[in-house]
Amino acid sequence: MLNKLRLLTPGPTPLPEEVRLALAKDMIHHRKQDFVRVMERIQPGLQYLFGTSQQVLPLSCSGTGAMHAAVTNLFAPGEKVLVVEGGKFGERWREIAESQGLAVTSLVTENGHAVTDAAVREALDADPSIAAVLVQASETSTGVLHPVRELGAVTRDRNVLLVVDGISAVGISPCPMDAWGVDCLLTGSQKGLMLPPGLALLSLSARAWDKVRAVGPKNFYFNLLAERDKSLANQTLFTSPVNLLQGLAVSLDLFREQTLEGVFRKQWAMTAMVRAGAASMGLELLAKTHFTWGLTSIRMPAGIDSSVVLKAAAEQCGVVMAGGQGELKRCVVRLGHMGHVDWADALAGLHALKVGLAAAGGYSAARSYMEDAMAAYDGALEEGYPGMKA
């Protein structure tokens, strides 16, 4: 029997029907008035999504391209930055910074643990020449949520920029740029924004723009000052993925309709749901406290190879999930529940996990795992997410 394919990975994520229809529209020219109207439409929605009064720049690249653009525009070779290394993508901040000749101090956290604001404050106190803190909001490789709000309180009153990779956080969990003192926030299209890969979005604070001007343009392609000038005129510096921007306009309309609070409430409830279901199976969660809302990283029991679990889940249930990365490659399953995913998809993911575990070693889950998951979902949905306005 054929199963409905369910994409429950950390990205790409499923696309709403409205977005798919927008992607299928006739092509328009990126230098004509039709495109200007699209750009006029998306900018207010992007500012709403990012929680900023600054321009949000669309970049024709992956999220890693936006990370590269941030580093090369904000810092000159030889400057010092503090990188939070809590997983594969924290390592990527370090690798990009080092490739551009920056002096990197790494603050390494154990798998499943978030950095603390106290540790960042101590590192900055120890070396006042550090120009910025580079961190993930959500470290997708481990499922950890770093405390961006608290880090903003540390950097806000110093001559230190806070540069945040929000690729698996924007549109999934709160990260209001202006209110939290974030100087650079970036994301990619294929996660919470419910679009195909290929588009990145980046915004800078006023003091970050001052820093960009002081450093001066070094890139021909990723020239953020020139990109900003074009954005203010409802254009882009180079040829854009026009269909992705048309899809983005519709995706942003959906965020407006649902409201960010509504989206965050749902994402939090599904996170509570998957965590409760996995715990009811007797499985260990990698991130115990500071966990991301967009995916759940689940440790496999001793002797169970996660690649076998994933293969069986896909073949027998039509559910595509992801394994770990680096040293976690064969011992973790990452069940994604971000973007256009609902409680029924998440339940299917838990069932597929159970089927995969059985195929990998005869592991038998508790019968009540689905009921426990739904009880957690209902409770979280009613109570609301942490920090939600009363």
Q: What's the pLDDT score for residue 2?
A: 63
Give me the torsion for CA of 176, 178, 184, 189, rounded to 10°: 40
- What is the average per-residue pLDDT within 31-47? 97
Q: How far apart are CA 106 and CA 93, in angstroms?
A: 10
Kindly state the average pLDDT of the residues 229-240: 97
156, 180 contact by CB (below 8 A)? no
Q: Over 70: is that where the pLDDT of 390 sits? A: no
Kindly tell me if the per-residue pLDDT of 1 is higher than 60: no
DSSP 210: H
**DSSP secondary structure letters along 341-371:** --HHHHHHHHHHHHHHHHHHH-----TTHHH
Which pLDDT value is given to residue 3?
76
pLDDT higher than threshold 90 for residue 367: no
Average pLDDT over residues 124-147: 97
pLDDT tens profile 176-219: 999 999 999 999 999 999 999 999 999 999 999 999 999 999 99
The SS3 call for residue 187 is: strand
Q: What is the mean pLDDT of the chain?
A: 96
Rounded Cα distance, 221 and 234, in Å: 18
Question: How does strand 332-336 pair with strand 322-323?
Answer: antiparallel
Comparing 53-62, 137-146, 380-389, the range with the smallest average pLDDT is 380-389
Q: Which two tokens stand for residue 164?
A: 């945040």
CATH fold of 6-12+259-383 reads Aspartate Aminotransferase, domain 1 (3.90.1150)
DSSP 8-state class, residue 291: B
Model confidence pLDDT, tens digit, residues 307-331: 999 999 999 999 999 999 888 989 9
| Residue 154: Cβ within 10 Å count | 22
Tokens for 252, please give them: 């942003």
Rounded to a whole number of angstroms, the CA Rg of the chain reads: 21
pLDDT at 186: 98
| For the chain, domain boundaries | 6-12+259-383, 17-257
Q: For residues 80 and 381, give the distance between their C-alpha atoms in angstroms, rounded to a whole number.
A: 43
CATH topology for 17-257 is Aspartate Aminotransferase; domain 2 (3.40.640)
**Residue 257 reports pLDDT greater than 70:** yes
The tokens for 348 are: 């299917």
Residue 41 in this model has a pLDDT that exceeds 60:
yes
